[in-house]
Chain A
């Protein structure tokens, strides 16, 4: 085996795994839409912190605290466009971005994150058509590019921020709780449910299992798809003690008359 050729055993196994994964994926594959920050979809969201532009957002332990350092730049454009932000100050660590779709379409940030809006979203208030994100500020960056291949319209709010990551809390059982951040995922992950009226925590293990993140083989991926297809999955929401149940966190975007919501514990996912 030459250094410049891939290990044939690994390559063959990977080839087979890829073929199995494609074969085992249902044609009408469910789509997990990426929504973050202030965009509360179906009344729930994971709390990822980064609340510089979203006043009043729940800020649990571990959430980054973003202090705006400059005037917020607001721009409305159609299609792909670059928005100049001016020179960052020396203490700027991140860029806080908040993107609202004004028409149907998919809009991309430079890091590949995207916001997709469909016809149904257009009847929602702007806050439900908004994705917010705080991204590290690379050296020399003084503008933001929003990419949209068609002539779809959007509004961007952006500013430089100084970000400090707060520590997670630890409950009486020794479980860490708070927001997922660059240090990883705590044992109990902060969520908001019921249109933001209830703040609580879900077990990271439940979250991973329901997301299909624990699959270890194409066969298990197939099982997960089969078990979760056309279903929303609910997982319990706890107080920070990790034992007092205060609600349900619903995952998935199954809609329509055939869509049902089932508890994670009722599914044979093996996790």
Chain B
């Protein structure tokens, strides 16, 4: 692994210094050159993100490993097929790197920013992802990847709800979609989403309430089944 080789290089460097009698003995603190490879807590993630900002590819990949699945599931809710969801994930992480100097962390995590960015990308697939179209098109995919219609056959109950919700979300602005989905599905409070969106907590509460009302009208009876209906506790 990259971290092992770095540690080995650091050890080798340390021993070379230490074995040289003409020089004073120098202590090399290995933790300074060790990359955070596993992100399990927000503290890990904040440390990993600090390494990303210093250009550490291992730390960036560790953050990808940590947040890939939740970003993908979020994208699935908002897109029409699996390929689009994959493109959104790719775009979100490529944007995370491109805009790394201005990413808003929420309690040490980049995930809310990734989910908000994924929301924006999914709302305008063609324009938003144009920057990365050539690169993403070169990434290989499994043959016979499932279309949304194939999935319906096997997971019809789950997807039926997803399609209904997606249709209801279509009438909302990207930031309102982010507010709805991040509070209802991802467990964030409206204040946390407000931070990711760069708006005040008060504005987020107002907009979330309004968006939920509009969602409720769009979903009708199904709204009470979706888990995103009028629950105020997360406010």
Contact = CB atoms under 8 A, between A and B. Distances in A.
Chain A contact-residue range equals 35 or more
Interface string A132-175: 00000011100101010000000000000000000000000000
B142 A8 contact: yes
B6 to A, nearest CB: 13
A213 B93 contact: no
Contact of A145 (B72, B93, B146, B198): B198
A147 B57 contact: no
Interface in B152-170: 154-155, 159
Contacts of B60: 18-19, 22
Given A7-B145, A19-B57, A22-B56, A216 B97 contact: no
Interface string A222-260: 000000000000000000000000000000000000000
Nearest to A27: B55
A6 B86 contact: yes
Contacts of A3: 76, 82, 146, 151, 154-155, 159
Contact of A82 (B94, B120, B200): B200
A82 B203 contact: yes
Interface of B: 52, 54-58, 60-61, 64-65, 68-69, 72-73, 76, 82, 86, 89-90, 93-94, 97, 102, 120, 131, 134-135, 138-142, 145-146, 151, 154-155, 159, 173, 175, 197-200, 203, 207, 210
26 contacts: A1-B142, A3-B76, A3-B159, A5-B72, A9-B142, A11-B68, A14-B64, A15-B61, A17-B139, A19-B58, A20-B57, A25-B97, A27-B55, A80-B200, A108-B102, A110-B175, A110-B198, A114-B102, A139-B173, A140-B207, A143-B203, A145-B199, A145-B200, A145-B203, A215-B135, A216-B135
Interface of A: 1, 3-11, 13-15, 17-23, 25, 27, 80, 82, 106, 108, 110, 112, 114, 138-140, 143, 145, 147, 213-218
